[in-house]
């Protein structure tokens, strides 16, 4: 029996309070940035802002990164997400990312609470689970370290909530698909395939347990919706990765006895963890002793629901262990497309944390019911579970504050755009790469761990950005370089090849002519005579993607309108069933 003594109005304010308490240090300076990878993602959004605000162009190409490369086709870019246009574009990238983060922690806490209530937990148990998940150390370390592309992992409870409903009504696949699309558009290079794997594991379980194909229909709808809605980015990313893949050959493994340390250690440093190749935040997923103890108590109770959570937790723990031979789960998973390019198996720990948090919530619910039935006359039957919930909230939020306070201290640089665009080399690319859009300079030796097709013939310094392959063929002048468009005047004595000082990409065109490769640079063959030219970056994959995304979004609107009319329910009941 679930307790409904708490007012529903209370919960949104409490979820928001937990999110603010967890992230409190990031609001000390509204425009400051986090360290490490935060500047990497910051540069992408700031490039998109400068492209729109300064040049009035659609953000598709990034001239500031690695000698020029696609922006819309970069899997880690976030500017095609609705939040960029609604938040970061008008308010600034620094403040925008903080609002992104606050919103996603709120959604993680709220989603977990709603999921637990759907699964039969009392409000207090749901609150413990929501805090143990939404304010866990995995999010503290990854988000404080700047992993913006992981923000979508906070949507895991909401995805599973609608997937659970989709066991019996396949239309909930639309909501699952929209949440997956949200994740991908937010730069979900890891988060999206992780959640696809999570959905797949649950669909297999549901289909076997229910002996019904409905869950598969739900998953099929979800996949179609997620790819269709995010097609504006999916197609350019697919086009780029097919040409420039980045297979990761690093097969890491974690010993089983090492698993407790990431879940229980409060260490605060960015050094290596033992003999492992990456820094500690890649492994840390602090959940605390009390939630872990509660989860173990719940796991010991022999019920079908508990066995389901324990089984899923074990499955993802086996992935976390990494490479332990050719038939280990992680090694087998890496044989699949996309997953072969993913590294650091400890990143799957977020799903282990999810199941542990859920078990902890069920334990608190069962404990409270037992106290109520046995000690109905004693006041401490009420205070003891509440004190437990408060302790979990205070402990995890205080830990999160400590991590964010250490990293969110980089002041934004003032905007000082140069009169002309040039390519330069910086001293510390992992820190200074984000300066490009602020200074209107390209960073040749950029910080980029993905596929990086960079021409060795890029010219550095104050040199013409458009030039002739053969010097004596004429002259190029009146050059103007903007992110998606380059204009110049060519006076040519004969048909000649003109080079642009950026990495080649077939999305560049002059009229009907597509750019081709000369020494890794953008090249066009132009006729003799004097004429002004305009090179524009407009890849066909982007155009097709915009059309598909628009079509799918229109179709989804019609779907919800039709659903509301057929069921004769209000918009609130239709959109939030």
Model pLDDT for residues 117-162, shown as the tens digit of each residue: 999 999 999 999 999 999 999 999 999 988 999 999 999 999 999 9
Band (1; pLDDT cuts 50, 70, 90): very low
Q: Which residues of 5-44 are buried (b: 16+ CB within 10 A; e: fewer)?
A: eeeeeebeebbeebbebbbebbeebeebbbbbbbbbbbbb
Q: What span, in angstroms and rounded, lies between the C-alpha atoms of 233 and 245?
A: 17
pLDDT score of 524 more than 90:
yes
What the block records as the tokens of 215 is 């869950």
Q: What whole-number distance in Å separates Cα of residue 549 and Cα of residue 172?
A: 19
Cα 232 from Cα 58, distance rounded (Å):
13
Residue 503 pairs in a beta bridge with 521
Q: What number is the average pLDDT over the span 259-265?
A: 91
pLDDT tens for each residue of 382-396: 788 889 999 999 999
Residue 506 pLDDT > 70, yes or no?
yes
Helix (H) or strand (E) holding 268: none
Residues above pLDDT 90, as percent of the chain: 67
Collapsing DSSP to helix, strand or coil, 531 comes out as strand
The answer to whether the beta carbons of residues 146 and 34 sit under 8 Å apart is: yes
Residue 158, classed as helix, strand or coil, is helix
d(CA 54, CA 86): 18
Integer CA distances (angstroms), 152 to 190, 228, 354, 498, in order: 9, 18, 14, 43
β-pairing verdict for 508-510 and 513-514 = antiparallel
Please, which residues have CB within 8 angstroms of residue 199's CB and are 6 or more apart in sequence?
159, 163, 176, 180, 219, 222
Which tens digit of pLDDT belongs to each residue from 52-102? 999 999 999 999 999 999 999 999 999 999 999 999 999 999 899 999 999
User: Cβ contacts of residue 86 below 8 Å, gap of 6+?
Assistant: none
> 67: closest CA among 576, 520, 560?
520
pLDDT at 326: 87
Residue 486 exposed, middle or buried by CB count within 10 Å (0-12, 13-18, 19+) = buried
Taking CA atoms, 453 is separated from 150, 420, 437, 456, 500, in Å, by 25, 24, 20, 10, 16
- The model's confidence at residue 250, banded by pLDDT at 50, 70 and 90, is low
248 confidence band (pLDDT: 50, 70, 90)? low
**Which tokens hold the place of 314?**
């074990």
CB 99 within 8 A of CB 87: yes
Percent of the chain with pLDDT over 70: 93
* Cα dihedral 427→429→431→432 (10° resolution): 70
Cβ neighbours for 83, distance < 8 A, ≥ 6 positions apart:
96, 99, 100, 103, 186
pLDDT of residue 4: 45
The 3-state DSSP class for residue 530 equals: strand
Angle between the 93-118 and 10-23 helix axes, to the nearest 10 degrees? 130
pLDDT for residue 560: 85
- Distance (Å, rounded) from C-alpha 346 to C-alpha 50? 36
Beta-carbon contacts of 308 under 8 Å, excluding residues fewer than 6 positions away, are: 205
* 290 pLDDT more than 70: yes
Residue 331 CA to residue 340 CA, distance in Å, equals 9
343 pLDDT higher than 50: yes
Phi then psi for residue 270, to 5 deg, are -110, 20
Q: Which two tokens stand for residue 137?
A: 């150390």
Distance CA 92, CA 535 (A): 29
Report the mean per-residue pLDDT for the chain. 90
Least confident of 102-111, 449-458, 474-483, 554-563: 449-458
Q: Which of 48-52, 221-225, 372-376 has the lowest mean pLDDT?
A: 372-376
**For residue 499, what are the β-bridge partners?**
467, 523
Distance (Å) of CA 57 to CA 234, 302, 546: 21, 60, 15
Question: Among 443, 557, 547, which Cα is nearest to 502's?
Answer: 443
What letter does residue 86 receive in the DSSP assignment? I
Given a cut of 80, whether residue 432 has pLDDT beyond it is no
Question: Is-contact 257 571, C-beta < 8 A?
Answer: no
User: Looking at the predicted structure, is the pLDDT value of residue 335 above 50?
Assistant: yes
- Stretch 8-18: mean pLDDT: 92
> pLDDT tens digits for 463-496?
999 999 998 899 999 999 999 999 999 999 999 9
pLDDT confidence of residue 200: 97
Q: Give 513's strand partners.
A: 510
Q: Is 167 or 370 the better-scoring residue by pLDDT?
A: 167
CA distance 414 to 417: 9
| pLDDT of amino acid 451 | 67
Q: What is the mean pLDDT of residues 293-322?
A: 90
Q: Strands 485-492, 474-481: parallel, antiparallel or unpaired by DSSP?
A: antiparallel
Residue 90 to residue 375: CA distance in whole angstroms: 56
* Domains of the chain by residue range: 10-30+72-407, 541-575
Q: What is the 3-state composition of the chain as percent helix, strand, coil, each rounded to the nearest 5?
A: 55, 10, 30
Maximum mean pLDDT: which of 27-31, 132-136, 249-253, 281-285: 132-136
Tell me which H or E stretch contains 283. none
């Amino acid at each position: 029996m679930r307790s409904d003594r708490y007012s529903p109005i209370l919960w949104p304010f409490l979820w928001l309070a937990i999110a603010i308490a967890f992230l409190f240090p990031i609001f000390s300076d509204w425009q400051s940035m986090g360290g490490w990878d935060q500047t990497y993602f910051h540069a992408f959004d700031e490039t998109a802002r400068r492209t729109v605000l300064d040049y009035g162009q659609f953000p598709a190409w990034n001239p500031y990164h690695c000698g020029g490369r696609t922006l819309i086709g970069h899997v880690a870019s976030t500017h095609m997400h609705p939040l960029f246009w609604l938040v970061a574009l008008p308010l600034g990238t620094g403040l925008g990312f903080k609002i992104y983060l606050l919103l996603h922690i709120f959604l993680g806490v709220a989603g977990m609470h709603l999921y637990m209530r759907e699964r039969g937990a009392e409000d207090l148990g749901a609150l413990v689970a929501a805090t143990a998940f939404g304010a866990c150390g995995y999010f503290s370390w990854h988000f404080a370290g700047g992993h913006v592309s992981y923000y979508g992992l906070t949507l895991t409870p909401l995805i599973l909530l609608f997937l659970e409903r989709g066991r019996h009504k396949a239309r909930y696949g639309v909501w699952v698909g929209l949440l997956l699309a949200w994740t991908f558009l937010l730069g979900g290079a890891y988060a999206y395939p992780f959640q696809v794997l999570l959905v797949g594991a649950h669909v297999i379980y549901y289909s076997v347990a229910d002996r019904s194909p409905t869950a598969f229909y739900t998953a099929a709808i979800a996949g179609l919706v997620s790819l269709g809605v995010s097609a504006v980015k999916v197609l350019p990313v697919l086009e780029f990765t097919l040409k420039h893949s980045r297979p990761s050959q690093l097969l890491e493994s974690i010993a089983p006895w090492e698993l407790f340390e990431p879940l229980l250690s409060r260490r605060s440093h960015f050094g290596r963890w033992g003999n492992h190749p990456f820094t500690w935040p890649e492994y840390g997923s602090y959940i605390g002793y009390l939630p872990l103890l509660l989860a173990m108590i719940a796991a010991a109770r022999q019920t079908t629901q508990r066995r389901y959570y324990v089984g899923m937790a074990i499955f993802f723990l086996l992935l976390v262990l990494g490479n332990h031979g050719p038939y280990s789960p992680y090694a087998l998973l890496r044989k699949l497309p996309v997953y072969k390019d993913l590294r650091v198996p400890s990143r799957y720990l977020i799903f282990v944390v999810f199941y542990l948090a859920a078990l902890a919530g069920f334990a608190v619910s069962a404990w409270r019911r037992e106290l109520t039935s046995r000690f109905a006359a004693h006041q401490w039957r009420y205070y003891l579970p509440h004190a437990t919930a408060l302790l979990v909230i205070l402990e995890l939020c205080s830990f999160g504050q400590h991590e964010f306070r250490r990293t969110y201290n980089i002041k934004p640089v003032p905007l000082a755009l140069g009169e002309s665009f040039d390519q330069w080399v910086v001293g510390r690319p992992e820190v200074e790469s984000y300066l490009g859009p602020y200074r209107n300079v390209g960073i040749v030796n950029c910080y980029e761990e993905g596929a990086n097709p960079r021409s060795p013939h890029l010219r550095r310094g104050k040199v013409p950005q458009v030039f002739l392959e053969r010097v004596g063929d004429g002259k190029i002048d009146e050059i103007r370089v903007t992110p998606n468009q380059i204009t110049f005047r060519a006076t040519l004595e004969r048909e000649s090849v003109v080079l642009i000082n950026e990495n080649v990409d077939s999305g560049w065109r002059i009229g009907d002519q597509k750019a081709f490769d000369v020494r890794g640079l953008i090249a066009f063959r132009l006729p003799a005579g004097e004429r002004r030219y305009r090179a524009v970056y407009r890849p066909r994959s982007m155009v097709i993607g915009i059309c598909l995304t628009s079509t799918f979004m229109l179709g989804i609107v019609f779907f919800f309108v039709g659903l509301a009319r057929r069921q004769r329910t209000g918009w609130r009941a239709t959109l939030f069933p």
